[in-house]
Amino acid sequence: MTTVVVELRGCTRDYGAVRAVDALDLSVHESEFLALLGPSGCGKTTTLNLIAGFVPPTAGRVFLDGDDVTDRPPHLRGLGMVFQSYALFPHLSVRENVAFGLRERRVPAREIERRVGDALELVRLDRAGRQRPGELSGGMQQRVALARALVYRPRVLLLDEPLAALDKKLREGMRDELRAIQRSVGITTIFVTHDQAEALGLSDRIAVMNRGRIEQLGAPREIYEHPATRFVADFIGASTVLRGRAVANDRVAVAGVTLVVTSGALSSGADVELAIRPERVQLVPGGGDNVVEARVEGLVYQGAQTELTARLRDDQRVLALVTEPAPAPLEVGQTVRLHLPADAFMVLA
């Protein structure tokens, strides 16, 4: 593939007794858009801080374009960063904020003028140049932060949950815009988020993080369709995981029922974990292949659909989304039949 721009080799970062990042290996390629996806506290920001140089690793090395930069201070790394809180300078105008990096690089005043203008145009803020950040809306501040980080053409763009502070509607608009800008500039980008939809929609590759480690690294489709671990499956929305034993290379015994599994090769006799998305589970009136009986434990009406939680005979939990109106009225405590399609299972490692 293409050249590696950022590389972490065995990076660990401890805060006292807390291991924020745990022996992490990661390579980011030229022009790639890579998402670090994981729940709050899993070490995403710390990973960015290691790359940016704000915190030194407790162990391990950081490389930029093949050079060991572990001991290089942040201002000499030539990266661009958009902070979770945007971190715009409140005492400077929008233009001065954007010009900051160029002034540090001693770019001639004329050229600063031109490039700041271009950058503000890129984020569609050419009219707000004189304003102070405090006078702008969240979405506009976000774009100033982006322009400020891009204007000096950094080697890598680091984004720490840039959309998290925006409201839902704005967030979706900004997401598309961010991707378009990244494409047009062609800059290598590392994007931190805890929102799986954001990661799936934006990235070339996703690194799913858990407790300071990368659980799975791959293209969005690969992560979505073939989650490697229970954690990944759960995190990207396949919230039912069933434990069973393979009885043939395409059959698994679960709760006294033999299920056909066509989506992965199994070795007979092995314990396996099968994940399935709630939207693939169907409520059916009668028996048949891959139909299990379950007792309804919870119902959450959500308008277009109802989220149904049920327990199998051996107490394993299954989640299903029932499209409304439901074929028959549902009640907690009643026994229902659920169809688990053979091709809907994801076999976890």
Partner 1 sequence: MILRLVVAALLLFITLPTVVVIAVSFNPTAILSFPPSGLSLRWYENVLTYPQFQRAAVNSLVVTGAAVALALPVGTLAALALERGRLRGRNAWAVLLLSPLVVPGVAAGLGFLILAAALGLLRSRSVLIAAHVALVLPFVVRAVWVSVRNLDPALERAAASLGAAPSHVFRRVTLPLLKPGLFAALLFAVVVSLNEFVVSLFISNRVTEILPVAMFTYVVNYTDPTIAALSSLFIVATFVVVWLADRYLDLARVFLQH
Ligand X SMILES: Nc1ncnc2c1ncn2[C@@H]1O[C@H](COP(=O)(O)OP(=O)(O)O)[C@@H](O)[C@H]1O
Q: Using CB under 6 A, list all residues that contact ligand X.
A: 15, 18, 20, 38, 40-46
CB of 101 to partner 1, least distance (A): 4
**Is residue 299 within 8 Å of residue 308, measured between CB atoms?**
yes
Q: Which is nearer to partner 1, 17 or 76 (CB)?
A: 76
Candidate ranges 11-19, 70-78, 275-283, 293-301; the one touching partner 1 (CB under 8 A): 70-78
Contact flag: residue 90 with partner 1 (CB under 8 A):
yes
Q: Contacts with partner 1 in 6-65 (CB under 8 A)?
A: 52, 54
Let me know if 303 is exposed, middle or buried by CB neighbors in 10 A (0-12, 13-18, 19+). exposed
Q: Contacts with partner 1 in 152-211 (CB under 8 A)?
A: 152, 158
Q: How many residues does the chain have?
A: 349
Q: Where are the beta strands (DSSP E) in 175-278?
A: 188-193, 205-210, 213-218, 240-248, 251-254, 257-260, 271-276
Where do we find the tokens 């661009």? 80
Q: Which is nearer to partner 1, 8 or 223 (CB)?
A: 8
Candidate ranges 17-25, 32-40, 68-76, 124-132; the one touching partner 1 (CB under 8 A): 68-76
Q: Which is nearer to partner 1, 96 or 118 (CB)?
A: 96
Sheet holding 257-260, edge to edge: 257-260, 251-254, 240-248, 271-276, 346-348
The tokens describing 256, both together, are 């006294």
**18 contact choice in partner 1, Mg ion, ligand X, none (CB below 5 to 8 Å, kind-dependent):** ligand X
> Binding pattern to Mg ion, positions 23-52, x when CB under 5 A?
----------------------x-------
**41 contact choice in ligand X, Mg ion, partner 1, none (CB below 5 to 8 Å, kind-dependent):** ligand X
Q: Which amino acid is at 202?
A: L
List the one residue out of 187, 236, 204, 2 whose CA is nearest residue 82: 187
> CA-to-CA distance for 227 and 212, rounded, in angstroms?
18
Give residues in contact with partner 1 (CB under 8 A): 52, 54, 73-81, 83-85, 87-91, 100-101, 104-105, 148-149, 152, 158
Give residues in contact with Mg ion (CB under 5 A): 45
